Structure 1
Amino acid sequence: MSAETLQTPVFDRDRALRLLQEYGVYAALIVLAIVAVGLDGHFLSADNLRVQLFQVSPTLLVALGMALVIGTEGIDLSVGAVIALSASILPLYLGYGLPVALPVALLLGAASGAAGGAMVALTRVQPIVATLSLMIGVRGLAEIVNGNSAKPVNQAGALDLGTGALAGVPYMAWIAAAAAVLTALLVRRTTFGRQLVAVGDNRTAAGLSGLPVRRVLITVYVISGVLAALAGVMIVGHGAEADPANQGINMELNAITAVVVGGTPLSGGRVRVLGTVAGALFMQLITAVLTQHNVPNSYTQIVEAVIICFAVYASQERGTR
């Protein structure tokens, strides 16, 4: 037997990190689902699955927009406030019907996103600073519009959007799935998607190559704002009330978590749409399992923080190598 045959295999750390980022979230999601079923035999019941889909759909919508922004090496901290703004404005126009109120809410989301994108693209303000200021201002505007108090919503169209189902699957989940497919097509099959990745990979080189860097940046923030506003409409319909003081709180953190856990690097230059979907589902399953077993919310937050740190570490390690 040759010496090569007897040689002990060497652990390839780079390859392990690469596999972890590429497929780790899917493996973790499968393992967690098996654990959830083992702990609770009714976890796969139709009623429970519908509950999970209701809860994850708004987060997934926001995470898809966040993935595009992070793909340009940016961040959007204003999405939770945009949810509150769309929630506050929706009841004011529901008297005209959902076909009028929904576009108004989405237009406000687009305007908020355009404001953040303009600060990043035109004035070169750091994305975290631009969207942080927008988050504070938009949240305050939402509370002013709504009178800083929760308002009941009983319009049939809005309630049906938030609680209705098609073939046993919530409308919210269908919409989120459609948004995921469209986002994947946008990233992989369009010129804009290639421009987005190029801008995130090297903004200076993209500009020197003649790419419309400013337009790309503004567009991704507009998309993020529209998806956040749509999530706000869903939340209002599902909860049957508009409460901008509380709705959308920490949604930006949930979205960033789903994106990072899904394998999209914070350094930009890449967007993993399927990974973002898996990341949102994974974080929702963790919350559901811990909540169903009466684990305090404080411990749930600690678990999520550890997962975020681990995902960011894996991403940075791969980037530096």
Structure 2
Amino acid sequence: MSAVPATKDTGTRLADLLLRHGALIALGLLVLFNLFFTPNFLSWQTLNVNLTQVAGIVIVATGMTLVIATGGIDLSVGSLMAISGALAPLIFLGTILPMPTPLLGVALAFIVPVLVAGLFGAFNGFLITRFGIQPIIATLILFIAGRGIAQVVTNGNLQSFRNPDFQVIGLGRVFGVPVQVILMLVIVGFAFWLMRRTLLGRQILAVGGNEKAARLSGIPVKRVKMAVYIFSGLCAGIAGLIVIAINSASDANLVGIGMELDAIAAVAVGGTLLAGGRAYVGGTLIGALIIQLVRYTLLANGVPDAAALIVKAALIILAVWLQGGMKRA
């Protein structure tokens, strides 16, 4: 009689181990493969390329991690990137309002678009908490309308620019380290601290684990949900600025396309339960690195880029299967 609970406990521990550390093991195997089979993998150029390409995904996925931890989802992040990316050039180029000094325009271009994206995140949270709309539907509204807003703001035109002061967010370096990578680490570090050391972090997990119980225990469920959607919007706004700074142009039709899927994939591969109640911020970072490194590995070894999409889908299936196995254990 006692053997059955013991087996269940062992299965639970094994599933939990795979969920928490499986991504790290997979990343290690990918690195080992590239060390043996990919030329110049250890070069600074290779490291720089992979880190700069993954930074935006990690920033957005970090916000997505907190949203998913509450049992929600945010499909609007790509469109919010487009809105942020559309507003910034209009500000520092003085299209909306002439600026007394160029530096003031750049400073406002860093702040205002991110705050606007945060406000749209609050709009998502408002629909969910005030009207009880399912998160996938509430955020689908801005997924569709948000990109339209960005296109209306820019009249559908490509905004090209050359502004070194603004583009430091995407092209600048501090002691050789890309600025967007530093931003990525700061945001990941903040989210990690928030989830591990603060009351809000514990409340987020409680809401995602059992919302009814959290409400009965006095947790302000609506405020918690509002907070994570605002944070997700802010992260998307920052990522939008990075993208246009790198490209020296803002295209409302393209900025942030598919980012919501990459972010969700990074969260899933990183081990965060898609049903809510758990959040592995460090795992999200590792998940994003895996997705980027898979794409780089395939391209470096002559495999078409389209194959990376298939592998990404397989990784998500594997992650969801592991999560399902943990629930069954």
TM-score higher than 0.5? yes
- The answer on whether the counterparts of 2:38 and 2:301 sit within 8 Å (CA) in structure 1 is no
CA distance in 2, matches of 1:74, 1:41: 42
- Matched ranges for 1:184-203 at <5 A: 184-203=192-211
* Paired position in structure 2 for 1:32: 30
CA distance in 2, matches of 1:73, 1:308: 18
* Paired position in structure 1 for 2:295: 287
Q: How many equivalent pairs are there?
A: 312
* Paired position in structure 2 for 1:278: 286
Among 166, 170, 189, the alignment partner of 2:178 is 170
Could you tell me how far 1:296 is from its partner in structure 2? 1.9
Is structure 2 residue 260 aligned with structure 1 residue 248? no
Equivalent AA in structure 1 for residue 284 of structure 2: T
- The answer on whether the counterparts of 1:153 and 1:237 sit within 8 Å (CA) in structure 2 is no
Among 119, 129, 133, the alignment partner of 2:137 is 129
Among 226, 242, 246, the alignment partner of 1:238 is 246
Any idea what SS the aligned residue of 2:131 has? coil
CA distance in 2, matches of 1:13, 1:208: 32
Any idea what SS the aligned residue of 1:122 has? helix
* Paired position in structure 2 for 1:43: 41
- Matched ranges for 1:107-118 at <5 A: 107-118=115-126
Equivalent AA in structure 1 for residue 19 of structure 2: Q
Any idea what SS the aligned residue of 1:93 has? helix
Could you tell me how far 1:148 is from its partner in structure 2? 1.4
| CA deviation string 1:192-240 (max 9, x = no partner) | 1111111111111111111110000011000000000000000111111
Equivalent AA in structure 1 for residue 73 of structure 2: I
* Paired position in structure 1 for 2:158: 150
* Paired position in structure 1 for 2:81: 83
Any idea what SS the aligned residue of 2:41 has? coil
TM-score (structure 2 length as normaliser): 0.92
Unaligned runs of 5+ in 1: 1-8
CA distance in 2, matches of 1:47, 1:301: 24
Could you tell me how far 1:293 is from its partner in structure 2? 2.6
CA distance in 2, matches of 1:117, 1:200: 15
CA distance in 2, matches of 1:113, 1:15: 36
Could you tell me how far 1:300 is from its partner in structure 2? 1.2
TM-score (structure 1 length as normaliser): 0.94
Equivalent AA in structure 2 for residue 68 of structure 1: L
* Paired position in structure 1 for 2:102: none
CA distance in 1, matches of 2:192, 2:151: 35
* Paired position in structure 1 for 2:3: none
CA distance in 1, matches of 2:261, 2:42: 27
CA distance in 2, matches of 1:94, 1:127: 34
Is structure 2 residue 64 aligned with structure 1 residue 66? yes
Report the CA distance shift for 1:147/1:294 in structure 2 as closer, same or farther (over 3 A): farther
* Paired position in structure 1 for 2:96: none
Equivalent AA in structure 2 for residue 240 of structure 1: S
- The answer on whether the counterparts of 1:158 and 1:236 sit within 8 Å (CA) in structure 2 is no
Is structure 2 residue 314 aligned with structure 1 residue 306? yes
Any idea what SS the aligned residue of 1:294 has? coil
Equivalent AA in structure 2 for residue 296 of structure 1: P
* Paired position in structure 2 for 1:211: 219
- The answer on whether the counterparts of 1:149 and 1:245 sit within 8 Å (CA) in structure 2 is no
Could you tell me how far 1:13 is from its partner in structure 2? 4.5
CA distance in 1, matches of 2:305, 2:157: 25
* Paired position in structure 1 for 2:267: 259
Any idea what SS the aligned residue of 1:130 has? helix
CA distance in 1, matches of 2:117, 2:324: 32
Could you tell me how far 1:34 is from its partner in structure 2? 1.2
CA distance in 2, matches of 1:277, 1:81: 22
Could you tell me how far 1:291 is from its partner in structure 2? 1.9
CA distance in 2, matches of 1:202, 1:266: 14
Aligned sequence identity (%): 39
Could you tell me how far 1:14 is from its partner in structure 2? 4.0
- The answer on whether the counterparts of 1:184 and 1:273 sit within 8 Å (CA) in structure 2 is yes
Moved more, 142-151 or 69-78: 142-151
